[in-house]
């Protein structure tokens, strides 16, 4: 099926049974599509056949819809979370990502991680990892792909430093300060900039920890860092506020996340007023896959057309076309784009 009744079909199918039709389409698709397009078509076909209803199929395709992002934004949404072992908690993070709008995620006490695995899991983010001093330490900072960011070299264990690009630069530091840390607060001083935010688990409650709190706050005062704690305790074990932020040259909002987690720390959510420039994404709609799958589903829509419920069927069909086009679309960063070399030129290579 094509959008125009007069258009030439992708190919004509003479098979009668559903199984024969499926195999026929797959066979022809393998002959006529590139390897990538064939795999994409096979995935879409599998999703179409395994979903129990049109509604559930549409729901699975809706996640591929991307709204047009503004070229800039006036604020960043950040989550800082002591996960106490990322290998055990990555599903918690996926749930948080799906339920919150997050630009930056600071994960603390991650333990030793398989970075290549998590790059696949969090494919919409750039990952910056700093190992800890023991197998339980480690800091991982995730930044949305569309945000321009650069990493600052830092050899302090459990400290990850990045610069967010916008009208200005925002220095963002993730810190896990374990009780047994071998470094001092003063070691962080060279990384403090005019516009800077530090998020972390400091293992210091400024109201309860006496001398330890005094040392930390005196250091912060020396570098004009304002402590910004959340509204409630963050440690479920000790009922203390030990996860918070310091800021310099910028005002931020912060609060404790009220949802459930499997860690013994509650995440903190923060909004940073900062004009950030997004990288624009290029896109490629695989129209051959779209056309082929539209043709494959011709008989389905032919049966559904019913004059008694014409409006409902029409709305369903429009949704189908829109969501199928989204499912057939891939996105890429223009700076990573490389035009394909035609086959007739590759043979001379």
Give yes or no for a contact between 276 and 14, defined as CB atoms under 8 angstroms apart: no
Which helix (H) or strand (E) segment is 311 a member of?
helix 310-327
Q: Quick one: average pLDDT of 35-45?
A: 92
Beta partners for residue 171, in sequence order = 163, 196
| 3-state secondary structure (DSSP) of residue 340 | coil
Residue intervals in the chain for CATH 3.60.10.10: 72-277
Percent of the chain at pLDDT > 90 equals 55
pLDDT at residue 134 in the model? 83
Find the farthest-apart pair of alpha carbons in the chain and give their distance in angstroms, rounded: 83
CATH 3.40.50.300 fits 72-277, yes or no: no
**Is a pLDDT exceeding 70 seen at residue 344?**
no
Q: Which is more confidently placed, 288 or 312?
A: 288
Q: Quick one: average pLDDT of 251-263?
A: 90
pLDDT at residue 6 in the model? 42
Which pair of structure tokens corresponds to residue 56? 């559930």
Highest mean pLDDT among 60-64, 237-241, 244-248: 244-248
CA distances to 81, 92, 162, 264, 266 from 260, rounded to whole Å, are 13, 9, 29, 10, 8
Handedness of CA 209, 79, 280, 167 (dihedral sign): negative
Task: Report the C-alpha gap between 244 and 201 in whole angstroms.
Answer: 7
pLDDT at residue 8 in the model? 45
Q: Quick one: average pLDDT of 204-212?
A: 94
pLDDT tens digits, one per residue of 121-147: 888 899 999 999 988 899 999 999 889
Nearest to 185 by CA among 218, 226, 136, 211: 218
Give yes or no for a contact between 3 and 296, defined as CB atoms under 8 angstroms apart: no
pLDDT tens digits, one per residue of 74-85: 899 999 999 999
Nearest to 105 by CA among 84, 73, 80, 75: 80
Neighbouring C-alpha atoms within 13 Å toward the C-beta of 295: 24
Task: Report the C-alpha gap between 67 and 69 in whole angstroms.
Answer: 6
pLDDT tens digits, one per residue of 213-236: 999 999 999 999 999 999 899 998
């Amino acid at each position: 099926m094509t959008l125009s009744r007069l258009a030439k079909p992708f190919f004509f199918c003479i098979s009668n049974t559903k199984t024969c039709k499926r195999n026929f389409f797959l066979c022809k698709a393998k002959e006529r599509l590139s390897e990538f397009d064939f795999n994409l078509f096979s995935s879409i076909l599998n999703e179409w056949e395994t979903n129990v209803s049109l509604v559930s199929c549409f729901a699975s395709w809706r996640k591929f819809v991307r709204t047009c992002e503004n070229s800039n934004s006036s604020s960043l949404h950040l989550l800082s979370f002591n996960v106490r072992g990322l290998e055990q908690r990555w599903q918690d993070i996926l749930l948080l990502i799906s339920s919150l709008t997050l630009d930056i995620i600071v994960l603390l006490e991650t333990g030793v991680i398989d970075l290549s695995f998590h790059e696949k899991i969090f494919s919409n983010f750039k990952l910056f990892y700093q190992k800890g001093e023991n197998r339980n330490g480690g800091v991982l900072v995730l930044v949305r792909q569309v945000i321009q960011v650069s990493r600052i070299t830092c050899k302090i264990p459990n400290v990850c430093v990045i610069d967010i690009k916008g009208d200005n630069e925002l220095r963002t530091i993730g810190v896990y300060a374990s009780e047994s840390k071998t470094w001092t607060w003063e070691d962080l001083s060279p990384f403090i900039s005019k516009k800077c935010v530090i998020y972390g688990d400091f293992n210091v409650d400024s109201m309860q920890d006496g001398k330890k709190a005094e040392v930390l706050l005196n250091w912060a005062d020396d570098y004009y860092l304002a402590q910004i704690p959340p509204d409630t305790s963050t440690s479920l074990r000790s009922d203390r506020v030990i996860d918070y932020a310091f800021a310099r040259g910028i005002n931020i909002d912060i609060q404790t996340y009220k949802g459930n987690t499997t860690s013994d720390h509650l995440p903190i959510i923060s909004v940073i007023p900062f004009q950030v420039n997004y990288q624009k994404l290029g896109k490629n709609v695989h129209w051959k896959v779209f056309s082929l799958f539209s043709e494959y589903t011709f008989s389905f829509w032919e049966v559904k057309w019913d004059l008694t419920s014409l409006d409902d069927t029409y709305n369903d069909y429009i949704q189908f076309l829109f969501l199928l086009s989204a499912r057939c679309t891939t996105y890429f960063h223009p700076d990573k784009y490389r035009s394909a070399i035609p086959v007739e030129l590759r043979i001379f290579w």
